[in-house]
Each structure stands twice: as structure tokens, then as C-alpha cells.
Chain A
Amino acid sequence: MQHDAILHALTVIFQEIFDDDDISLKRETTALDIEEWDSLNQIKIILACEKVFDVHLKPREISAMENIGDMVDHLHTLLSN
């Protein structure tokens, strides 16, 4: 799966979790850009990613990332292995 496709899939996940079709993720997007991004929603994001991408994520992995770009790269690495 290419980076753009991952970013698109993530955007759909975020739109569903935050119940907001206007969300348009960019590589530079951070948790601060989405007001309702909290610990509960972060867990939902991880679970949704695990389901959609069929990967296993660690609980603190996403917190350690600086932005969505890092998340896309990480998912790309997991999917390539």
C-alpha cells in the first residue's frame, strides 16, 4: 500500500471516529489540530487501524509520533514487512 493510499484510509478512519466529514488529513496534521483527539479517541484510532490495515500496534506508538506523516510512514513500514 502506498503512502497516499494509507493517508486516504486514515482520513476515512478519522472522519468516522470524530464524526466529521470535513476532516482532511495532511502529513503535517498533529493531535493539536483536532480538538477532540484525546486518549479515548486515540484508542479508537489504534483499533480502527488494526482492523483496516490488519496490523498490530503498541499502545504508546501513536503518542510517540509527531504528526500524521510519522503515522503513515510507520504503517507503511509495518505493511511492507
Chain B
Amino acid sequence: MPVVMDADRIGRTLTRIAHEIVERNKGTEDLALVGVRTRGVPIARRLARTLQEITGHEVPTGTLDITLYRDDLMRHAVGPQPLVRSTEIPFSIDGRKILLVDDVLYTGRTTRAALDALIDFGRPKAIQLIVLVDRGHRELPIKADYVGRNLPTALEESVQVRLQETDGKDEVVLDGGGE
């Protein structure tokens, strides 16, 4: 299983993305980060810390669980329901620029669900998408604004993002389907 990003590279990548956020938005005013469960959440928190170091300003950070918005929820004839976990967005998103954070961008269906969920919380001024890895194979017209690493993959491969907070170590692993 080849490691395509190690801890150092993940750290440098997130620092670079934080600088891009500041540059593109001319500061951090009106910004808020929303991490998509599970691994978008620690990535959003890390970006918030780095943004504070760079600009001295705190960026509000929230957590979004998109389970109830999944487009495959009632598609299976029968079977157990995916677990629902809590959403915590302790600020108004009205008029803010929301930085939506996820670990991997793949089909785009999770992002679609996240966009629908966010819009139910209010009317943001804009939503920008941040992903650590873009592995391609989009099924919906969705594109990330900030990409940690573009990783061309085959459909049968899987991309595993592991983070200190959830998995005990930082790495991105490309798992070959043939093994």
C-alpha cells in the first residue's frame, strides 16, 4: 500500500492551503470553516489554527454530518441505516463565506449533500470547497476551490486519509484494488 502523502507533506499542504485562503479572500473577515464528518472535521480545525497563526484572527469552525441528506439513503431495498451523528454549527452562516472542508473529493455526491445541508442553515454569501485529496471520477458537476493533492486513481483503487485525531497517525494511502 503506497503512502502518497506522509505527515510532513500533509502539514505543509494544509499550511499552503491556509495561505491560499487568506490571499484569495483578502484576509479572513466573514470566513467560517465547516468540516464534513468524519475527517473533514480535524482538517477544518487544523486550518482554523493555521489561519489564526497567520492573521491573528479566529475563524469560527463547525461540524456537518451529511447522513440525512445522502442521495442513496432510501435507495437500497432493505438494510441498516447509516449512523447519524451530530451537526454543530454554532454561528449564523448568513452572509458569511463558508469554507467547506472534506478529506477526499471523489464522485461529488457527499459535497452535493453538504451543500444542501448548509443551505438549510441559512444563506451564505459564498461557499468554497477545500479537499485534501482530489481523486477524480466525478459524477456531478462539482469542483474544489482548494486542492491539497490531485491524485489520479483507478476506480477499483481506494484512497484512505488517516489523521492523528481519528486514526493515530497522519498519512494518505492509495490502496490498490487488485491486492
| Chain A partners chain B | no
Chain A: residues with CB nearer than 8 A to chain B? none
Chain B: residues with CB nearer than 8 A to chain A? none
